[in-house]
Amino acid sequence: MTAEIPDVKKTWPHSINTVTIGATATEGGTRTSTITVGGETTLPFYHFEGTMPNKPVLAMEVWDVPAEDWPEPVKKPFADVMSDPGTWAKRCVEEHGAELICLRLKGCDPNGADRTPQEAAEAAKKVLDAVGVPLIIWGCGNVDKDNEVFPVVGDAVSGENCLLGTISEDNYKTLTALGTAYKHKLIAASPVDINLAKQVNILAMDVGFPPENILIYPSTGALGYGIEYVYTIMERLRIAGLKGDKVVAMPMLCDIGIEAWGVKEAKAPESEVPGWGDVNERGPMWEAATAYVYLLAGADILIMRHPDAVRITKNTIARLMGGGA
Amino acid sequence: MAKVTGIGIYKLLPRTNCGDCNFPTCMAFAMQVAAKKSALDQCPHVSAEAQSALGDAQAPPMQTVKIGVGEAEYAIGGETVLFRHEEKFYHPTGIAIRISNALPDSEIDARLEAIGKLHFLRVGEEIGVNFVAVDCEKFDAACYASAVKRVSTGTDLPIILACSDPAILAPALETVADRRPLIGPAIEANWEAMAELAGKHHVPLVVRANTLDGLCALSENLKEKGVEDLVLDPAGADLVDTITKLTELRRLALEKVFRPLGHPTLVHATSDTPDEEAATAAAVICRYAGIVIMDSTEPSHLLPLLTIRQNIYTDPQVPNAIEAKLYEIGAPGPDAPVLLTTNFALTYFTVAGEVENSRVPSYISVVDTEGLGVLNAYADDKLSAEKVIKAVQEQGVMDKVKHNRLIIPGLVAVMRMEIQEDSGWEVIVGPEDAAGIPHFLKTEWNSN
């Protein structure tokens, strides 16, 4: 006599917001495709009890200046195109299947090339001209400079429904204003803290920016360097969103490449770490493995660098969505 | 089978408040038992009726299964939560590397040698693979026994005897039973013979069925035969099916206390390409697998997977702290910079990693902040000018260098003047983010 197995399926009262990035000609932009993320009604990949109408997507990272400090294994595939963000983006999309391009305006950093807002806008236009996928534009990280750059860049890419980032607790007014004016989506950043993630969203909503236009960036840690803290914050954010906390019911974004390629495990040549395997395989694997953990935590957009990491992560996403084996 | 409350347990106790359990009252003891912090038998006066009434409810909802003996013993299962933030995950997923008996001896030896190298030192902790699984692909008893013997002499790791034919398994098991291998799978067609082998040698048994109903039926049958140490192989058809079943099994065990399926799990990641195998392993480590069996012996695959396991199974309630002392990166000389940070492990390893990146040999002076990061430590007064000065003085780093400059984290720039005035050192404000350290050391430090 076999016991009857109880049903353990869960239903949640709410779902995660959907956010669309990019605009086609009919929508006032020039993109040939748009990307929609979010809409989950349960935890990641639990197709047996809910729906995940939009699969997680991969953005590939392009800079407005050559990425001199990228480790050799990830610089090599782009070394000949790094001088031009348009050509670089084209390679990402056409050869490596990038679903979005993340243009990081590293060149605007006052501690670096200190490029002007107009130059940043030029770089963004080059990417838009070269590829048809939607665009993420990520500031240089210097708050004052970003607040100078984004109004110019946001205007230049007006109508393209880009995803701009990041806003934070201390700096959200400029970007929320221009996000509203030029119809862009925003990335809300917080330092691995569920309350601060809420706080920045509330601040943006208080100045009239719609929550449906926000993605949460809960910070990203590389595998081996604090990934478990972010993993747990993301699980808690997703659970809170599904339970009905509208302030955190947003899709989530992870900045994988920049973190994964910053650690020894990804970039040290085998001569420095004997027994760890060839860095040309280990590096992309480290980036992909970092991505896998975030996918299981609920990531909707992953920003990545290495073509091999992108290829195997895309395959893993397809499998997690029920395709392949 | 619902969870028993403290009051429920209290009602079954003598209620004499005798204190023989080392708690002041029966109620206090009952609460501890309900929280699974004390065992019922700590009360010397508890009645047999109470014991049996609570026995079933007292058993943990998911069994802990131990494989191997002595120092090599590896425990799986015994988990108590679905999400690590609720408490923690207790027994890290065991990684097993498969060796087929169809391989020639030389290749078995080569794989054993490769497996022996799959141990790494990361952030002060040794991480490595945990099992060797001898897979019966050639159905020949002598061949299987020979492979098992070769593996058992070639590794100290606990062994999994993956063989579904009891007649082939039996002689091989005879030779290694004292190492308490995990055997199986028991399936619908062989479970009685498997139960006999597991019972005779007191070894844990894998149960395989591709439906939860099938697993449940087998598990009940085996328990009736007295075999209790079970590991469930849900034989997922693909990655989604595997994750679904692992999640259902975890929920059934913990939320429903459904005893027939209250056991740890095993997943074969092996049927995929190496990249897909690694992806499967990564996903099931995050989603509750007790053991994952793999083919790859490439460090570039295993190091990230072992690190995922190390991270996911970190106790989220314990601040991850390192020893507060002076650390040397590279071979710092008298001109080397001295950087200050906290003893939150992640902070330290991030700072140390960036200092390594800079290739500027440096001293890192670590202050005991009870495992808090820079900002939290400052807010909690665990990082104060006084503490910094005391730590740096006790570590004697200023005697090792011929300058008196101390670099403090940019996030606590506000401490600069106080440290400088009270210590007499020149205090320099470093970057707010560790990522800025290489640039800082190469430019600002060097220009000083």
Is B195 domain-assigned?
A: yes
Assess whether B141 and B185 both reside in one domain: yes
Find residue B366's DSSP bridge partners: B341
Q: Of the candidates A282, A315, A325, which has its C-beta nearest B303's C-beta?
A: A282
Is B317 domain-assigned?
A: no
Q: Which of B248, B282, B312 is the last residue of a domain?
A: B312
The token pair that represents A129 in the structure block: 């001209």
Is the pLDDT at A68 greater than 60? The verdict is: yes
pLDDT at A126: 98
B144 CA to centre of own chain: 31
CB B230 within 8 A of CB B264: no
Assess whether B194 and B337 both reside in one domain: no
Alpha-carbon gap, residue A133 to B408, rounded angstroms: 44
Please indicate whether, in this complex, the C-beta atoms of B300 and A3 are within 8 angstroms of each other: no
Asked if B117 reaches chain A (Cβ–Cβ under 8 Å), the answer is yes
Is B291 domain-assigned?
A: yes
Q: Which residues, including other chains, have CB under 8 Å from residue A241's CB and lie 6 or more apart?
A: A14, A16, A248, A249, A250
How open is the CA angle A291-A85-A102, to the nearest 5 degrees? 30
What is the CATH classification number for the domain harbouring B49? Answer: 1.10.15.40
What letter does residue B344 receive in the DSSP assignment? B
pLDDT at B1: 38
pTM of the model as a whole: 0.87
Is B89 domain-assigned?
A: yes
What is the CATH classification number for the domain harbouring B216? Answer: 3.20.20.20
Taken in order of first residue, the domains within chain A and their CATH numbers are: 26-320 (3.20.20.20)
What is the CATH classification number for the domain harbouring B366? Answer: 3.40.50.11600
Alpha-carbon gap, residue B391 to B365, rounded angstroms: 8
Q: Residues, chain B, total?
A: 448
Give the mutation candidate from A293, A306, A315, A317 for the B interface (greatest B CB count, under 10 A): A293
* B202: closest CA of chain A, how far (Å): 25
Interface of B with A in 163-182 (CB under 8 A): none
Assess whether B142 and B256 both reside in one domain: yes
| % residues pLDDT > 70 (chain B) | 97
How many structural domains does chain B have? Answer: 3
Please indicate whether, in this complex, the C-beta atoms of A292 and B286 are within 8 angstroms of each other: yes
Assess whether B95 and B219 both reside in one domain: yes
Is B97 domain-assigned?
A: yes
pLDDT band at A118 (very low <50, low <70, confident <90, very high): very high
Assess whether B159 and B245 both reside in one domain: yes
pLDDT band at B445 (very low <50, low <70, confident <90, very high): confident
Q: Of the candidates B213, B255, B282, which has its C-beta nearest A293's C-beta?
A: B282
User: Residues A14-34: pLDDT tens digits?
Assistant: 999 999 999 999 999 999 999
Assess whether B114 and B48 both reside in one domain: no
User: SS3 letters for B281-341?
Assistant: HHHHHHCCCCEEEECCCCHHHHHHHHHHHHHHCCCCCCCCECCCCEEEECCCCCCCCEEEE
Assess whether B38 and B164 both reside in one domain: no
Please indicate whether, in this complex, the C-beta atoms of B350 and A225 are within 8 angstroms of each other: yes
Is B321 domain-assigned?
A: no
Of the candidates A231, A65, A15, A55, the residue with the CA atom closest to the CA atom of residue B283: A231
Query: Which value, to the nearest 10 degrees, does the dihedral of the CA atoms of residues A159, A164, A170, A176 take?
Result: 20
Domain that holds residue B351: 326-447
Beta strands B74-77 and B64-67, pairing class: antiparallel
Asked if B84 reaches chain A (Cβ–Cβ under 8 Å), the answer is yes
User: Residues A301-323: pLDDT tens digits?
Assistant: 999 999 999 999 999 999 999 97
pLDDT band at B3 (very low <50, low <70, confident <90, very high): low
Report chain B's mean pLDDT, rounded to a whole number.
93
B428 CA to centre of own chain: 40
Give the mutation candidate from A1, A5, A7, A315 for the B interface (greatest B CB count, under 10 A): A5
Q: Of the candidates B212, B278, B286, which has its C-beta nearest A293's C-beta?
A: B286
Compute chain A's Rg from CA coordinates. 19
Which of B50-54, B321-325, B335-339 shows the lowest per-residue confidence on average (mean pLDDT)? Answer: B50-54
Assess whether B87 and B42 both reside in one domain: no
pLDDT band at B345 (very low <50, low <70, confident <90, very high): confident
A104 three-state secondary structure:
strand
* Mean pLDDT in residue range A125-136: 98
The token pair that represents A154 in the structure block: 């946001």
Amino acid identity of residue A297, one-letter, is A
pLDDT at A325: 46
Amino acid identity of residue A259, one-letter, is E
Helices (H), B128-273: 141-154, 166-176, 191-201, 212-224, 239-255
Please indicate whether, in this complex, the C-beta atoms of B308 and A275 are within 8 angstroms of each other: no
User: Residues A243-296: pLDDT tens digits?
Assistant: 999 999 999 999 999 999 988 899 989 988 889 999 999 999 999 999 999 999
Give chain B positions within 8 Å (CB) of A312: 275, 279
Assess whether B86 and B211 both reside in one domain: yes
Give chain B positions within 8 Å (CB) of A47: 240, 244
Alpha-carbon gap, residue B125 to B136, rounded angstroms: 34
In Å, how far are B56, B252, B290 from B43, measured between CA atoms? 17, 31, 34
User: Residues B403-422: pLDDT tens digits?
Assistant: 999 999 999 999 999 999 99
Q: Which residues, including other chains, have CB under 8 Å from residue B302's CB and lie 6 or more apart?
A: B95, B118, B129, B294, B296
A202 three-state secondary structure:
helix
CB A166 within 8 A of CB A190: no
CB A80 within 8 A of CB A294: no
pLDDT band at B106 (very low <50, low <70, confident <90, very high): very high
Assess whether B54 and B69 both reside in one domain: no
Assess whether B49 and B93 both reside in one domain: no
pLDDT at A324: 53
Is B251 domain-assigned?
A: yes
Is B319 domain-assigned?
A: no
Q: Of the candidates B258, B271, B314, which has its C-beta nearest A5's C-beta?
A: B258
Assess whether B243 and B125 both reside in one domain: yes
Q: Of the candidates B255, B278, B303, which has its C-beta nearest A276's C-beta?
A: B303
pLDDT at B2: 46
